[in-house]
Structure 1
């Protein structure tokens, strides 16, 4: 089976110099897990990923599609008392400024900003509790190249799409005058984020006229582009995962450790 994610990186330990021009867009996804070996085996079986070591230590791995880095795994859920989950990271000009904007708007900072070997990162939550990360620094590879093997997109399931769009727009400088920023549109009942014309994220909360749904636990869902979602689902079940929902073009899965993700047909991107 096949495919999918990507990262960002940097150079100096204090304030890495960004060498790209894409800001506010998703640039990496990372899995927080409890068992590194089990996660490697599962995602190799389901998505065909290969692995290389990361500079951060023995509990970290980088998933590869061919020569392209696509995702990270950090086996630190138990050690750091964090939830097992897939988390998207957004490219920002300044991690410190982005964290300040999150706090000013009612969000929280769980970790960081911290200096990592290639850049600076922070793990945050919006004011409804959805977890996301930010990244300051140069990308691991060309952004367009990453997009070819990256998640098809990420989607925020939340209680109020427009309120969430305002929050993220202010934090990540969407629809601003900043060069390289993302465009925000309302399309097909969803708030849609575009970068260089590509759809890179969606925010959904139900019908436009509907009141915010108090039963939704806001979260970012990562969609991986694959050739055959049904085959991925069968492989996931064979290797200890479970199917949460299926449709002709996509299947929502849970890995053996409990992390939820979606496999989406390439043509549905």
Structure 2
């Protein structure tokens, strides 16, 4: 499927540093419907994945940007976008998650060109870990933006930073690793000098509103937020929340199957990027 929506962003380069967000994956119920929606809204094209007929890889400008798997029902997990973090050893990282009161729901198991696991932190926010076991083949691109930018909404940002720091070896000082700093009441995560995530306090585990419960929020960069919102509505999605940034705007959307994601103006991401 080919999309030509004006809100699509320039092609970014993949992230490969240890403990950095390396991939985002959509768990959905209907692969065909998801491809139609994201192709129309974000201009993605799709190729079959190597994990079977229920998986595909979304591409932008010929470069892989995300995975989609029609596995929500099979794995009995929520329809959702999930970030995956690169780790040196998936088994060791899974053990650290359990030791720190997190949960490993699936894996570690063979996943693409590596081994991965689906987990949740101790407040219930779902994330994945992934260990590469084969060389990368994605072509490099000159664009300075990542495929996706992340925000963790959690009960206590500082507690969460300790959990992820211990699980993912943040602030280890290793080449390609992530560093943690504090800005006002938020924790900021930078990898290779580029801002990739913020961690915010205030989420409530039992809240009925999914935006208030602990969760990783996936932001996709676009060049035209209003046009992207309009395209989402035209293709069966809905607008949950829209915010004006210091530069540009962002909008949180629901796809037709109920997965939350956010589109953020490239200018806003650039303003938040120290690199």
Identify whether the pair has TM-score above 0.5, normalized to the shorter chain. Answer: yes
Preserved contact between residue 52 and residue 61 of structure 1 (Cα < 8 Å): yes
Shift of 1:80: 1.7
The TM-score, its normalising length taken from structure 1, stands at 0.88
Q: Aligned partners of 2:60, 2:195: CA distance in 1, in Å?
A: 21
Shift of 1:140: 4.9
Q: Aligned partners of 2:112, 2:216: CA distance in 1, in Å?
A: 26
- Structure 2 residue 55 is the aligned partner of structure 1 residue 60: yes
- Cα displacement string for residues 102-135 of structure 1 (whole angstroms, at most 9, x for unaligned residues): 0000000000000134110000000000000011
- Structure 2 residue 240 is the aligned partner of structure 1 residue 235: no
Preserved contact between residue 63 and residue 139 of structure 2 (Cα < 8 Å): no
Change (3 A) 1:255 1:262: same
Preserved contact between residue 204 and residue 213 of structure 2 (Cα < 8 Å): no
Q: Aligned partners of 1:236, 1:260: CA distance in 2, in Å?
A: 12
Shift of 1:136: 0.3
Q: Aligned partners of 1:78, 1:146: CA distance in 2, in Å?
A: 36
- Structure 2 residue 64 is the aligned partner of structure 1 residue 84: no
Which protein has greater RCO, CA pairs closer than 8 Å, 6+ apart?
A: 1
Preserved contact between residue 96 and residue 113 of structure 1 (Cα < 8 Å): yes
- Structure 2 residue 148 is the aligned partner of structure 1 residue 148: no
Shift of 1:71: 0.2
Determine the structure 2 residue equivalent to 1:251: 251
Q: 5 Å matches for 1:4-15?
A: none
Preserved contact between residue 34 and residue 75 of structure 1 (Cα < 8 Å): yes
Q: Aligned partners of 1:116, 1:87: CA distance in 2, in Å?
A: 15
Q: SS state of the match for residue 261, structure 2?
A: strand
Matching residue within 31, 37, 56 for 2:32: 37
- Please list every run of 5 or more consecutive structure 1 residues that lacks an aligned counterpart in the other structure: 9-19, 207-211
Shift of 1:149: 5.2
Shift of 1:179: 3.0
Q: Aligned partners of 2:81, 2:36: CA distance in 1, in Å?
A: 16
Preserved contact between residue 205 and residue 213 of structure 1 (Cα < 8 Å): no
- Cα displacement string for residues 8-31 of structure 1 (whole angstroms, at most 9, x for unaligned residues): 8xxxxxxxxxxx6x1111000000
Q: Aligned partners of 2:156, 2:14: CA distance in 1, in Å?
A: 28
Aligned residues: 251
Moved more, 215-224 or 157-166: 215-224
Change (3 A) 1:96 1:147: farther
Q: Aligned partners of 2:143, 2:259: CA distance in 1, in Å?
A: 23
Q: SS state of the match for residue 145, structure 2?
A: helix
Q: Aligned partners of 1:175, 1:108: CA distance in 2, in Å?
A: 23
Change (3 A) 1:246 1:230: same
| RMSD after superposition | 2.0
Preserved contact between residue 251 and residue 263 of structure 1 (Cα < 8 Å): yes
Q: Aligned partners of 1:246, 1:117: CA distance in 2, in Å?
A: 35
Preserved contact between residue 178 and residue 191 of structure 2 (Cα < 8 Å): yes
Determine the structure 1 residue equivalent to 2:178: 182
